[in-house]
Structure 1
Amino acid sequence: MNILFASQAIDGHFNPMTGVAMRLKERGHDVRWYTGPVFTGKLKGLGIPLIPFKRAIEHRADNLFELYPERARLKGPRAIGFDGEKIFASNISNFFEDIRDLQQEFPFDALVVDSSMFVQRLVSHLLGKPVVNVAVIPNMESDPLVPPLFFGFRPPRNPAGKALQTVAGQLSDKIILRPAHQSYRRQHTFYGQDVPKRGRLTDDAYRCSDAVIQAGTQSLDFPRRNTNPKVHYVGALLPYRRPGADVAEELPPGYSTTIVVTQGTVDNADQDKLIIPALEALQDMDALVIVATGGRGTAELNRRYPQPNILIRDYVDFAAVFESTDVFVTNGGFGGVQLALSKGVPLVVSGINEGKSDVNARVEYAGAGINLRTEAPSPEKIRRAVHSILAEPGWKERAQQMRQDFARQDPAEAAADVVERVLASR
């Protein structure tokens, strides 16, 4: 079968889908990928042909401020609303026209699409193609028991909390995301598509897809009143690794405790948010502290923190290092959180922007880590949280329980099965 993958040109959206693509390729399917030219080299290495964006704007982690200088001045809800409209909703028609045209080059039998591209309804209804939606972020389908997006809420415990979240949900859907929703509806109306008025913007991808591959496990999600039979939790969707590619990390000997710190690969320009406070907090501990900078300021940090127990690198092989890690300090990137829990590592999470608050609320609700609930925690706050994780065995026990949940199936295998079942049903 001919299977078209489609994703944003953003590492956090593209990379988790590569394992699924390679599994389908290994099963004999002709897999090609519609995304930005930035991934030409990666796709060549995977042996998957690239069909690059033509009309669509290539939004990348490293060009957003160049494309939209005004974005640098926005924070909180205004930044969320701006990204929703400009980075995600504005490209829908461009994505669809590109995909409609590329059928001449590659008559695909099914589309496996990054949930944030929002073309599920158009491809399914206008092209008549099976669509498998891939959500590499937490489940964003609305439900009466699930808190509204972007506030970092946990499920309410009392009527007052429920009332607060109801108001916040209206603020999120009717004000923060209103420009994105208007853009979405306007572009679909152009193609004669009536978008249901009820529900939030992100619901439509769950409604219009034949199936949803949902990253993570139900134990890392909130309870739901309504179960969508299309949604399949597959575990930690991770970048493809060639068999035998695991390399043992050369770590300094003599440390019984290992702590890993990262501020991600997108929101890591200002290291005063998490990396530097974490180093200040942990530099004097009798522990090995490993910091992944994402390629920013590594040399300067090494000069500033020359202690023998601190190892600062551009990138870290988390899959290998987490096998001996005791605490993971992170800003809440969903991929890193899943990988840590799949290895049984408890977390200290910090971060609010780009949906991090919702990821971190799930970590807290699952009992797998301490949520600092701030974008820029103090060294003292980080130090207390790390010491708490190390001193109380319950954190490690809960993370190990979640490791068992993640280990129940091979994520790429389970996701590939979902795609093939959709193909068979059509």
Structure 2
Amino acid sequence: MRVLLMAYGSRGDVEPMVGLALSLRALGAEVRVCAPPDFAELLGGVGLPLTPVGEPLRPVVKAVVTGTAPPKAEGLAQRVTALLTTAYDAIAPVAEGCDAVVATGLVPAVAAARSVAEQLGIPFRTVAYFPAYLPSPHHPPLPWPGRPLPQDVTDNRVLWDLNAESLNALFGGAVNAHRASIGLSPVDDVRDHVLTGRPLLAADAVLSPWPEPSDLDVVQTGAWIRPDERPLPAGLEAFLDAGEPPVYVGFGSIPVREAEDVTRAVVEAVRAQGRRVLLSRGWADLEPTDDKDDVHVIGEVNQQALFGRVAAVVHHGGAGTTTTAARAGAPQVVVPQLADQPYWAARVAELGIGAAHDGPTPTFESLSAALGTALAPGTRTRAEAVADSIRTDGAATAAKLLLDAIGRERPPVSA
């Protein structure tokens, strides 16, 4: 059996797919992966060849988030069309001979993946990494840039109807024009077309439960976690052994505005708590602002091995980092920047396993208050209790469900 996985987005979109890929491979399936070229090393490290989709994403994301992107000559419709075409052209050849397609990421890329599956007549699944991405009467949708939710509307079903209208306005014309160009019929509702009626929810039911009753037949599998057996670098081990557990600070594959000011505020707030700092460069390119020896800078490391040895984790609130810290029983301070990150910040606070920073721009004062909560003994006790309840078999569960579904749904082989 052969499965194509497509993830067009940041590392938070791609790494869970690696966890699923390894579980599928353990069950005997062949796996092919399409993703931005930024993640060739990540995939190559576990023996998964990458078919790249488009140009490297990191410089684009950094320019957009930090406000340094040059003005685009083309409009939104042209950019959506370009991504649809680029994604389709990358995915279609790799999908030949596959038995199913699983996709996540930006709407145009997922729409292209579904078109490929439709042309081949094979099963298609969309995956979400947090509940609020999926329509529900129990929560509102995330606001789209330039399309804020109306303040006077509180009915979630009405808000989700407006969300569908927004996505049709943003993507409908380009999606249907592309579908027509490859011989497919138009769709009336881009959002529902991309999500399907039975999406996968790769999130832990304790950290982020799916509320019922629901209008969708959501299959919550638990988070998809890539097994990571890499040892920590010798320099990091030496730093950890040289004193009390430090506070980890990193924003993953999310750039931040005014990175130097943010770094200075975070480091000084951690020092004020009497703690050392582990500073992860990440896509924010964090670097120390002085040469004191209580700050150790790291690159890509095994967070599963690291987070159980730190006093707290200060991060952006991506699904993967939140889940990894929660599994390790490490208190968290979430400084959300965009997308799903405010959701995860709220969940960390609601569960009592850390603090949600108010807004994306930390100051010494705001971080000091949040760290005071995270480093309190009661928060550590609560975080360790929650860690014991988090499932670790989400990717294996999803792989088995997916292969069983493919066996039921794929067309019979003609004699």
Cα separation, 2, equivalents of 1:421 and 1:373: 44
**Judging changes above 3 Å, is the alpha-carbon distance between structure 1 residues 133 and 247 closer, same or farther for their aligned structure 2 residues?**
same
Task: Report the secondary structure of 2:273's partner residue.
Answer: coil
Cα separation, 1, equivalents of 2:218 and 2:323: 21
Task: Report the secondary structure of 1:3's partner residue.
Answer: strand
Summarize deviations over 1:57-113 as a string: whole Å, max 9, x none.
335122456799987379xxxxxxx99x7777752344334433445xx41111122
Aligned twin of 1:410: 393
Are 2:194 and 1:205 aligned? yes
**Judging changes above 3 Å, is the alpha-carbon distance between structure 1 residues 422 and 329 closer, same or farther for their aligned structure 2 residues?**
same
Amino acid at match of 2:373: S
Cα separation, 2, equivalents of 1:16 and 1:62: 22
Counterpart of 1:312 (choices 281, 289, 297) is: 297
Q: Is the 8 A contact 1:347 1:368 kept in 2?
A: yes
**Judging changes above 3 Å, is the alpha-carbon distance between structure 1 residues 204 and 368 closer, same or farther for their aligned structure 2 residues?**
farther
Are 2:247 and 1:259 aligned? yes
Summarize deviations over 1:265-286 as a string: whole Å, max 9, x none.
2314631464321112122432
Q: How does 1:155-194 map to 2 (within 5 A)?
A: 163=154, 174=165, 178-188=169-179, 191-194=183-186
Aligned twin of 1:232: 220
Summarize deviations over 1:191-228 as a string: whole Å, max 9, x none.
5434344xxx544333256x525233353246343064
Counterpart of 2:134 (choices 124, 127, 141) is: 141
Q: Is the 8 A contact 1:36 1:52 kept in 2?
A: yes
Aligned twin of 1:154: none
Cα separation, 2, equivalents of 1:66 and 1:389: 32
Summarize deviations over 1:220-255 as a string: whole Å, max 9, x none.
2463430643422322x33453xx433373334464
Summarize deviations over 1:279-315 as a string: whole Å, max 9, x none.
12122432232111216656x51xx333333222234
Q: Is the 8 A contact 1:7 1:114 kept in 2?
A: yes
Counterpart of 1:107 (choices 83, 97, 110) is: 97
Summarize deviations over 1:306-339 as a string: whole Å, max 9, x none.
3333222234432122112232111222211111
Q: TM-score, normalised by structure 2?
A: 0.79
Cα separation, 1, equivalents of 2:203 and 2:82: 25
Amino acid at match of 1:344: G
**Judging changes above 3 Å, is the alpha-carbon distance between structure 1 residues 380 and 172 closer, same or farther for their aligned structure 2 residues?**
farther
Aligned twin of 1:400: 384
Deviation at 1:342, TM superposition (A): 1.4
Q: How does 1:107-126 map to 2 (within 5 A)?
A: 107-116=97-106, 117-119=109-111, 121-126=114-119
Deviation at 1:135, TM superposition (A): 2.6
Summarize deviations over 1:26-51 as a string: whole Å, max 9, x none.
33222222334444444444333433
Cα separation, 2, equivalents of 1:168 and 1:287: 44
Q: Is the 8 A contact 1:350 1:371 kept in 2?
A: yes
Task: Report the secondary structure of 2:88's partner residue.
Answer: helix
**Judging changes above 3 Å, is the alpha-carbon distance between structure 1 residues 32 and 168 closer, same or farther for their aligned structure 2 residues?**
closer
Task: Report the secondary structure of 1:46's partner residue.
Answer: coil
Q: Is the 8 A contact 1:222 1:362 kept in 2?
A: no
Cα separation, 1, equivalents of 2:66 and 2:304: 36
Q: Is the 8 A contact 2:123 2:406 kept in 1?
A: yes
Aligned twin of 2:147: none
Deviation at 1:140, TM superposition (A): 0.9
**Could you say what the CA RMSD is over the residues aligned between the two structures, in angstroms?**
3.7
Amino acid at match of 1:238: I
Cα separation, 1, equivalents of 2:20 and 2:294: 37
Higher mean C-alpha displacement, 344-353 vs 58-67: 58-67
**Matched residues, number:** 394
**Judging changes above 3 Å, is the alpha-carbon distance between structure 1 residues 161 and 325 closer, same or farther for their aligned structure 2 residues?**
farther
**Judging changes above 3 Å, is the alpha-carbon distance between structure 1 residues 213 and 93 closer, same or farther for their aligned structure 2 residues?**
farther
Are 2:371 and 1:371 aligned? no
Gaps of 5+ in 1: 75-81, 152-159
Aligned twin of 1:155: none
Aligned twin of 1:285: 273
Cα separation, 2, equivalents of 1:263 and 1:369: 16
Deviation at 1:12, TM superposition (A): 2.8
- How much identity, in percent, do the aligned residues show? 21
**Judging changes above 3 Å, is the alpha-carbon distance between structure 1 residues 336 and 126 closer, same or farther for their aligned structure 2 residues?**
same
**Judging changes above 3 Å, is the alpha-carbon distance between structure 1 residues 385 and 131 closer, same or farther for their aligned structure 2 residues?**
same
Aligned twin of 1:11: 11
Q: How does 1:287-366 map to 2 (within 5 A)?
A: 287-294=275-282, 301=288, 304-366=289-351
Cα separation, 2, equivalents of 1:285 and 1:66: 33
Q: Is the 8 A contact 1:216 1:233 kept in 2?
A: yes
Task: Report the secondary structure of 1:215's partner residue.
Answer: coil
Q: Is the 8 A contact 1:149 1:358 kept in 2?
A: no
Q: TM-score, normalised by structure 1?
A: 0.77
Deviation at 1:370, TM superposition (A): 1.7
Amino acid at match of 1:389: A
**Judging changes above 3 Å, is the alpha-carbon distance between structure 1 residues 377 and 306 closer, same or farther for their aligned structure 2 residues?**
same
Cα separation, 1, equivalents of 2:13 and 2:333: 23
